[in-house]
């Protein structure tokens, strides 16, 4: 299965004191449909690579050059690959999100990703095309650093992925989610949870050994608690950042988050122990009675021994990631140059469907990928207007220190991910604190925890800080798949004039755009003559008429259902957009 062994001690010895000769690692990937039944309940189509699913865990070494030739053999869907957590310094065009830094790879096209690994730790790769990765295109990726601060303190590395799993495919789930028949925006509840893309996963272990367990949540929506009965977890890495050791019994991983933990095995081989991933049911509007929200795997000391079922927990007490401290000692950046306040909300637009917003803007992809607009607009690139209203773009100047205040006006938990950076976490409020208020926090950590995905608590807030030292177009978005597709994203256009000097798009990427019929120059609308004329830019659905509220929509939908039920017109449910004649107060 998806774990591997590495003779780390001998590698460290071999590399010690040498300049490592970096390898070039070439992947030739054919992205195709295959089938799988990972929870044993339903065989369904999944997206595989070269006919294989689960996808390969990539084992790379810091300094390697990666060349991935990605052929889209799906036939019916476009695709793309995002390398989650990578800085892509100088190679912003290899980051992956379509309409942001590249075009969609349409069926029959091959797109080549080509970049060098400057980071180390645990990452993952996944499709960044609309809603796609939970259909299977997702897997862990490890970059070994022979010089890592914990070398010599563990015997082997093992990968454990956690995820939710849906029996239905994403395009249908998204259609139902962003729909007039779902005005409250209730997210689809997963059918099961997986560990290493299966259930009852077995990890053969040896007594007395210490393992570096690499944990990543590659799921679409559900956060997971993780613990191993009878064993402590010592956190040493968070989202690619080595940390001082922090011991705990349990960790909490939102979608896209990673932790590496040291786990020392018992000396006694008479018992096997369950390891448990447990989906955070707070995220679910309703819990189906037949849902098993846990997934169990086993540390197997004795392969002939019993596999004990885990104890059921009713309270969870995971480690608070805010308290972690990076071993590199990078101190709090001083004196922010720009403070960006993002008020996050979820609400209905005029089609009656529920969308997600930063500062009342729901992200809408443009006709020209934003990076291509940067490269084709000369000095106008510093004006965010040219990127289109609904990319919600902010231009950052090179090396500025940027504060982002996130006010979560929603009652759900949301993990926010920034591309191209890991950010310092300065403050996170408890539940229900409301808007960020600087008087609630008197001091920030001297060496703040850094990561690339961080969760805001329900109707709470957080403050993060990063340095704009990586020229590129970087998305900031909620990593809950459904919310991203409901528009919960915005764009940082970081040092656009420096991008123009450093990023050069290879001809292959333009060829892919040609095949997908997308534009590659001009402003968001593709206007190359007048960059400030945005006529024809893509825009979100218009807002509801004034005075019409979410409550009104809910009431309207339910009263319509009631009215139609008697006429056996149930088929209307979920089909028709709300038209003007149905809106009573506009007649
Ligand atoms: Cu892992 Cu923009 O995502």
3-state secondary structure of 331: coil
Q: What is the mean pLDDT of the segment spanning 404-410?
A: 97
Q: Are 427 and 463 in contact (CB under 8 A)?
A: yes
What confidence category does residue 2 fall into, taking pLDDT thresholds of 50, 70 and 90?
Answer: very low
**Tens-place pLDDT, residues 314-353:** 899 999 999 999 999 999 999 999 999 999 999 999 999 9
Structure tokens at 175: 């259609």
- Is residue 552's pLDDT more than 80? no
Residue of the nearest CA to atom 1 in ligand 1?
A: 84
> Which residues touch 430 (CB under 8 Å, ≥6 apart)?
457, 460
What confidence category does residue 307 fall into, taking pLDDT thresholds of 50, 70 and 90?
Answer: very high
Exposed, middle or buried by CB within 10 Å (0-12, 13-18, 19+), for 535? exposed
Q: 477 CB under 6 A from ligand 1?
A: yes
**CA 544 to centroid of ligand 1, rounded, Å:** 30
- pLDDT computed for residue 579 by the predictor: 35
Buried b (16+ CB within 10 A) or exposed e, 184-215: ebebbbbbbbbbbbbbebebebeeeeebbbbb
What confidence category does residue 568 fall into, taking pLDDT thresholds of 50, 70 and 90?
Answer: very low
Q: Are 283 and 187 in contact (CB under 8 A)?
A: yes
Domains within the chain, CATH numbers bracketed: 1-143 (2.60.40.420), 150-326 (2.60.40.420), 338-516 (2.60.40.420)
Q: What is the mean pLDDT of the segment spanning 256-278?
A: 97
- Is residue 18's pLDDT more than 50? no
- pLDDT computed for residue 435 by the predictor: 97
3-state secondary structure of 281: helix
* Span of 67-71, 267-271, 578-582 with lowest mean pLDDT: 578-582
Q: What percent of the chain has pLDDT over 70?
A: 90
Determine if residue 122 is left, alpha or beta; phi over 0 gives left, psi from -120 to 50 gives alpha, anything else beta.
beta
465 vs 5: CA distance, rounded Å? 37
Q: How far is CA 276 from CA 204, 273, 287, 323, in A?
A: 16, 10, 19, 23
Structure tokens at 480: 């809950």
Q: 258 CB under 6 A from ligand 1?
A: no
- pLDDT computed for residue 441 by the predictor: 84
- pLDDT computed for residue 21 by the predictor: 61
- pLDDT computed for residue 546 by the predictor: 76
- pLDDT computed for residue 544 by the predictor: 84
- Is residue 536's pLDDT more than 90? yes
Exposed, middle or buried by CB within 10 Å (0-12, 13-18, 19+), for 19? exposed
**Tens-place pLDDT, residues 180-204:** 999 999 999 999 999 999 999 999 9
Q: How far is CA 273 from CA 251, 264, 518, in A?
A: 17, 13, 53
CA 245 to chain centre: 25
- Is residue 299's pLDDT more than 90? yes
Q: What is the mean pLDDT of the segment spanning 99-110?
A: 98
Q: Are 79 and 110 in contact (CB under 8 A)?
A: no
- pLDDT computed for residue 310 by the predictor: 96
Q: What is the mean pLDDT of the segment spanning 133-153?
A: 96
Q: 371 CB under 6 A from ligand 1?
A: no
- pLDDT computed for residue 328 by the predictor: 97
**Element containing residue 407 per DSSP (H, E):** strand 401-408
- pLDDT computed for residue 573 by the predictor: 30
- Is residue 305's pLDDT more than 70? yes
Q: 218 CB under 6 A from ligand 1?
A: no
- Is residue 362's pLDDT more than 90? yes
573 vs 557: CA distance, rounded Å? 9
SS3 letters across 168-192: CCHHHHHHHHCCCCCCCCCCCCCCE
* Span of 17-31, 129-143, 530-544, 563-577 with lowest mean pLDDT: 563-577
**Tens-place pLDDT, residues 375-396:** 999 999 999 999 999 999 999 9
**Tens-place pLDDT, residues 458-472:** 999 999 999 999 999
Q: 463 CB under 6 A from ligand 1?
A: no
Q: What is the mean pLDDT of the segment spanning 240-258?
A: 98
Q: Please identify, by atom number, the ligand 1 atom nearest to the C-alpha of residue 453.
A: 1
* Angle, alpha carbons 122-123-125 (nearest 5°): 150
173 vs 47: CA distance, rounded Å? 16
Residue of the nearest CA to atom 3 in ligand 1?
A: 84
- Is residue 4's pLDDT more than 80? no
- pLDDT computed for residue 551 by the predictor: 57
Q: 475 CB under 6 A from ligand 1?
A: yes
**CA 127 to centroid of ligand 1, rounded, Å:** 8
Looking at every residue in the chain, the average pLDDT score rounds to: 91
Structure tokens at 100: 């942001």
* Span of 13-17, 67-71, 505-509 with lowest mean pLDDT: 13-17
**Tens-place pLDDT, residues 412-437:** 999 999 999 999 999 999 999 999 99
Q: 256 CB under 6 A from ligand 1?
A: yes
193 vs 195: CA distance, rounded Å? 7
Q: Are 536 and 525 in contact (CB under 8 A)?
A: yes
318 vs 261: CA distance, rounded Å? 14
What confidence category does residue 545 fall into, taking pLDDT thresholds of 50, 70 and 90?
Answer: confident
| Number of residues that this document lists for the chain | 587
What confidence category does residue 171 fall into, taking pLDDT thresholds of 50, 70 and 90?
Answer: very high
Which one is predicted more confidently, 583 or 517?
517
**CA 332 to centroid of ligand 1, rounded, Å:** 25
73 vs 472: CA distance, rounded Å? 29
Q: How many CB atoms lie within 10 A of CB 317?
A: 12
What confidence category does residue 439 fall into, taking pLDDT thresholds of 50, 70 and 90?
Answer: confident
Alpha-carbon torsion angle 579, 580, 583, 587, nearest 10: -160
DSSP 489: E
Q: 82 CB under 6 A from ligand 1?
A: yes
């Amino acid at each position: 299965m998806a774990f591997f062994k590495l003779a780390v001690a001998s590698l460290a010895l071999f590399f010690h004191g040498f300049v490592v000769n970096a390898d070039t690692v070439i992947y030739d990937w054919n992205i195709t449909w295959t089938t799988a039944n990972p929870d044993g309940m339903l065989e369904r189509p999944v997206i595989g690579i070269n006919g294989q699913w689960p996808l390969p865990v990539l084992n790379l070494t810091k300094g390697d050059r990666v060349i991935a030739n990605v052929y889209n053999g799906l036939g019916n869907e476009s695709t793309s690959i995002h390398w989650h957590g990578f800085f892509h310094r100088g190679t912003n065009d290899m980051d992956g999100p379509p309409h942001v830094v590249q075009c969609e790879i349409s069926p029959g096209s091959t797109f080549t990703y080509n970049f060098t690994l400057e980071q180390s730790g645990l990452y993952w790769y996944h499709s960044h095309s609309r809603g796609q990765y939970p259909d299977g295109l997702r897997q862990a990726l490890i970059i070994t650093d022979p010089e890592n601060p914990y070398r010599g303190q563990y015997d082997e590395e093992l990968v454990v992925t956690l995820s939710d799993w849906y029996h239905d495919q994403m395009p249908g789930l998204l259609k139902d989610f962003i729909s007039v028949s779902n005005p409250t925006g209730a997210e689809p509840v997963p059918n099961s949870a997986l560990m290493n893309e299966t259930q009852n996963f077995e990890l053969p272990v040896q007594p007395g050994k210490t393992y570096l367990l690499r944990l990543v949540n590659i799921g679409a929506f559900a956060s997971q608690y993780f613990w191993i009965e009878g064993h402590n977890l010592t956190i040493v890495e968070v989202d690619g950042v080595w940390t001082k050791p922090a011991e705990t019994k349990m960790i909490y991983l939102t979608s896209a988050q990673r932790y590496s933990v040291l786990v020392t095995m018992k000396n006694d081989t008479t018992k096997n122990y369950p390891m448990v991933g447990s989906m955070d049911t707070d995220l679910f509007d309703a819990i189906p009675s037949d849902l098993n929200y846990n997934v169990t795997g086993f540390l197997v000391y004795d392969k002939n021994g019993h596999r004990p079922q885990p104890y059921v927990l009713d309270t969870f007490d995971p480690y608070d990631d805010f308290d972690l401290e990076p071993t590199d000692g990078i101190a709090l950046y001083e004196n922010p140059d720009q403070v960006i306040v993002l008020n996050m909300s979820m609400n209905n637009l005029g089609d009656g469907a529920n969308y997600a917003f930063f500062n009342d803007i729901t992200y809408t992809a443009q006709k020209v990928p934003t990076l291509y607009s940067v490269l084709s607009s000369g000095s106008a690139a510093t004006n965010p207007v040219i990127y289109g209203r609904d990319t919600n773009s902010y231009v950052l100047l090179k090396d500025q220190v940027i504060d982002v205040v996130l006010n979560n006006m929603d009652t759900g938990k949301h993990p926010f991910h920034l591309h191209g950076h890991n950010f310092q976490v300065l403050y996170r409020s408890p539940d229900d604190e409301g808007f960020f208020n600087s008087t609630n926090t008197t001091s920030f950590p001297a060496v703040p925890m850094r990561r690339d995905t961080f969760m805001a608590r329900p109707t709470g807030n957080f403050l993060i800080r990063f340095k704009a030292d990586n020229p590129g177009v970087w998305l900031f978005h909620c990593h809950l798949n459904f919310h991203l597709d409901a528009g919960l994203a915005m764009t940082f256009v970081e040092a656009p004039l420096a991008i123009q000097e450093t990023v050069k798009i290879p001809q292959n990427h333009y060829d892919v755009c040609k095949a997908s019929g997308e534009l590659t120059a001009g402003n968001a609308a593709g206007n190359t003559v007048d960059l400030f004329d945005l006529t024809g830019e893509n825009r979100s659905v218009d807002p509801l008429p004034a005075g019409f509220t979410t409550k009104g929509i809910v009431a309207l939908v339910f009263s319509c259902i009631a009215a139609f039920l008697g006429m056996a017109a149930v088929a209307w449910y979920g089909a028709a957009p709300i038209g003007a004649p149905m809106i009573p107060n506009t007649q």
